[in-house]
Structure formats: structure tokens, C-alpha cells
Structure 1
Amino acid sequence: MTHADSPAYWDPMPTARRLMATTQFEPRILKGRWEDRNWRNVPGPFYAGETDEMALGRMDAPDHICYDDDHGGGFGGVFVFRQPTDEGQVFDVLCGASLDLYEGYNWDGDDHWTVDSVRAWWADRGRVRAWAVAIAADWGAQTHPHWGYNNDPKYLGHYHDAARGHRDFVAHIDDGLEAYLRGYLFWLEQRREPKPGEALPRL
């Protein structure tokens, strides 16, 4: 979906519904509540709310899922930092969601996001970017004396992978997310994918 004549926004929901109906994914994996969503989720159809997947989601969807630090020095919940833009990515996100013990993911973001709320999220992006920069520096370090038992070297690879996700999130905010969100605004207003070359709303 990256060539010149691709639409500025690709709707993942037909693919997601087909995968849910024709694979072994269970409907229970998408029961998250909009009111509980992690504030770091980027706008789009997929998001995570109250979750506990033991920091495993990145094993299946490293290009889409990040971990937060809401439980102190260790892993807390998860959030979607990049929305899927092709069929393979939709599958990855659903695989990541299937690992959550709290069944806290959902795919009904299109029913909740509005043009105004997407613009408000974008206007406040500096807050989530600053958080991601700071946590990437912390979790990407070689020692973490303030982490307690999590300072065991056997956890370093896991934390370093999580930090890689945060750095990817920062890079996405800096280059790519604005274009995606402009296409998503078009979708929210028109409920169709924009045609190549069609004017997109501004953020």
C-alpha cells in the first residue's frame, strides 16, 4: 500500500472481519472499552484499553504494539502505536490482541474517533512523544538499579526490544503519522477511502 497510486487511507476493517470469521481468532479478544483506552493509542480503528498480555504482544506485532510503564519500573499495559495498512499487518495486530489476558483490545475506533478528537490528539502529540523518548532511553539502557527484581540481566533483551518499539513510535510521529491521520480524517468525514490525488483534510 505504498506505491504512488495507493489510496491515502486503507480501511482495514473488511480484512479484519474476514480474518475473525475465517481463522481461529476468538471474538472475545476484542472486548476492550473505549473509556479504558490507553491515551497513547494513535487514532484509528484498533486500540487497547485495560490489558495484561505479559508484554508478549510485540512478538507478533512489533510494528504496531508498544508497552507502557504504568505499573512502575516494569511493563504495564499496551497500546497501538501504528495502525495496520495492509492485510498482513491486520493479521499481526489480531495475533497480538489474542495474547491479552484481559481481552482489552478493540476495533471499534471508527465509531468513536471524530475529526475534532483526532485533531486534538495530534495537537497534543508532543506529550506522548516526550514520554516515548524518555522511556526508550530508560528501557534501552544496560542497567536499571531502580527496577528491583526486574533489573535481572535476563530481562534486558525484553526491555531493549520494548525500547526499540518506543523509538519506532517516535519515528512514526515524526514521519508518517501525519499523512496517515489526514487520510483517516477523510475516512471519518466521507466513510470511503480517498482516491489518489484527492484533497485531504488538514490536521
Structure 2
Amino acid sequence: MTYWDPVPTRRAAEGGPLPDPDGGSWVPSDQYGIWNLRPDRWAELDWRNVPGPFYGSGTDNCWMGRLIAPDNVLYEDDRGAEFVYRQPRNPAETRAVMGAAAQDPYVGYACDGDDHWTPELVRDWWRERARVREWAVALDRKWSVSRRGDEREAAGGARAYVAHLDGDLADYLRGYLFWLQERRPARRGEPLPSL
């Protein structure tokens, strides 16, 4: 699997338009501070974020992210904060994550993960994935029978996260490890680092 870097798309799309929760689009103004790269965001990193450039850290609890980026964003059940369970795989998903970030009044998303993740940290995260999987399975059980429609919808995200953990995430992370070490995607046939 070749790692796809979403950062160039993020840079190109910063001026919008970005998707909104109603299925439309809008152009964010500078007041939203979507790409707040403050160092304190990394210090508050939610442990459920999948390694990669995008992450949620100290986000709000308005549950807007899945309305825009259901293939990438999920809510934690303690406070309802948002985190990135799957890194964007294409320009559309990148813009969707950007749209989710733009809705966060706490400015809790960032896209400077490449500056913080190291091969050692990625491997540590992978070794602890059973904790993430256990959490996601429990969340699905809890929310899939909820009376609240938004919780039942989010349970689908928990199932998608488990499928990602059990499926293609290892290949993605091996490609991301190569990216972190070489700052380029692996060429066809190049060996990828082990997890």
C-alpha cells in the first residue's frame, strides 16, 4: 500500500470551500483558526486518534464531525469530543476532515501530526491497539441500542473503526512509517518498515 499524503490537499483547500453539516459548502474566514498548530494541541492528543497528520485534541462536544466526515471522525463517549479514527485517503476525505475541523469552536483539530509522530510512537500506538479496539467494540454495543439516533449513527463509526483496525490499518501504518522516515511515499517494490 502506498501512503497518500493529505497535507498538500489541505494546503490547497485552506481557503475553501469546505463541506458543511447541511451537505452544502462554505468559505471559512480566518476567525475560525482551523489550522491552529499550537503545541498544546499535541500535548492533549486523544489516545484514540490514528497516527497521521490530522488529529483531534480537546475538541468540542457538538457532534458535528460525523455529519461532515463520517469516514474519518468519531466521538469519544466520555465528553463527546471528536477524534480522527481514519486518516484521509483522498482529496474529498481531506476536505471533509477540514470541514469537520472548521465546525469545532474549541479549535481542537490540528494537522501537524507529521511533526510529532515518530516511528517509535507509531509502533507504541500499534502495540496498544487492543485498548482502542476494546473501547470501540464497547461503544458500538452501548450506542447501537441507544434511543438517540445520533448515537446509533455513531455506533456505525465505531464498527468502521474496528474494521479499520482489523483490516487495512496495519498496511497504512507501515506506509506512514516509511513516510516519516523518508518524507516520501514508498515506490513500488520498496520494502516497508515493520510495525
State the TM-score, normalizing by the size of structure 2.
Answer: 0.89
Structure whose alpha-carbon radius of gyration is higher: 1
Counterpart selection for 2:5 from 11, 21, 44: 11
26-35 vs 133-142, which moves further: 26-35
Q: Is the alpha carbon distance of 1:67 and 1:105 closer, same or farther for their aligned partners in structure 2, counting shifts above 3 Å?
A: same
Does the alignment pair 1:131 with 2:123?
A: no
Unaligned ranges ≥5, structure 1: 1-6, 143-152
1:49 to 57, 68, 79: 57
Q: Is the 8 A contact 1:20 1:26 kept in 2?
A: no
CA contact (8 A) 1:66 1:79 kept: yes
* AA in 2 matched with 1:70: D
Q: What is the 5 A alignment of 1:74-89?
A: 76-89=80-93
The amino acid that maps onto 1:140 is S
Give yes or no for the alignment of 1:30 onto 2:39. Answer: no
Instruction: Answer whether contact 1:53 1:99 (CA < 8 A) is retained.
Output: no
Q: What's the CA shift for 1:94?
A: 0.3
Shift of 1:22: 5.3
Q: State the shift of 1:178 in Å.
A: 0.3
Between the aligned partners of 2:64 and 2:91, the Cα distance in structure 1 is 21
Moved over 3 A (4+): none
Note if contact 1:53-1:101 (Cα within 8 Å) is conserved in structure 2. no
Alignment partners' CA distance in 2, 1:26 and 1:124: 39
Contact 1:53-1:102 within 8 A present in 2 as well: no
The question of 1:166 aligning with 2:158 is answered: yes
- Cα gap change, 1:194 to 1:138, in 2 (>3 Å): same
2:20 paired residue number: none
Q: Which blocks of at least 5 consecutive residues in structure 2 are unaligned?
A: 18-26
Partner Cα separation in structure 2 for residue 190 and residue 180 of structure 1: 15
Give the whole-Å Cα distance in 2 for the aligned partners of 1:65 and 1:90: 11
- The size of the alignment, in residue pairs, is 181
Q: Report the counterpart of residue 106 of structure 2 in structure 1.
A: 102
Shift in Å, 1:193: 1.1
SS of equivalent to 1:79: strand
Task: Among all aligned residue pairs of Structure 1 and Structure 2, give the percentage whose two residues are the same amino acid.
Answer: 48
Distance in 2 between the 1:22 and 1:61 partners? 16
Q: Distance in 2 between matches of 1:199 and 1:168?
A: 28
Q: Distance in 2 between matches of 1:26 and 1:126?
A: 40
Q: Following the alignment from structure 1 to structure 2, what is the Cα–Cα distance between the partners of residues 103 and 26?
A: 13
Q: CA RMSD in A?
A: 1.3
1:4 is aligned to none
Question: Within 1, Cα distance between the matches of 2:8 and 2:114?
Answer: 13
Residue aligning to 1:200: 192
Distance between the aligned counterparts of 1:22 and 1:164, measured in 2? 28
Moved more, 50-59 or 122-131: 50-59
Query: For 1:66, what is the secondary structure of its paired residue?
Result: strand
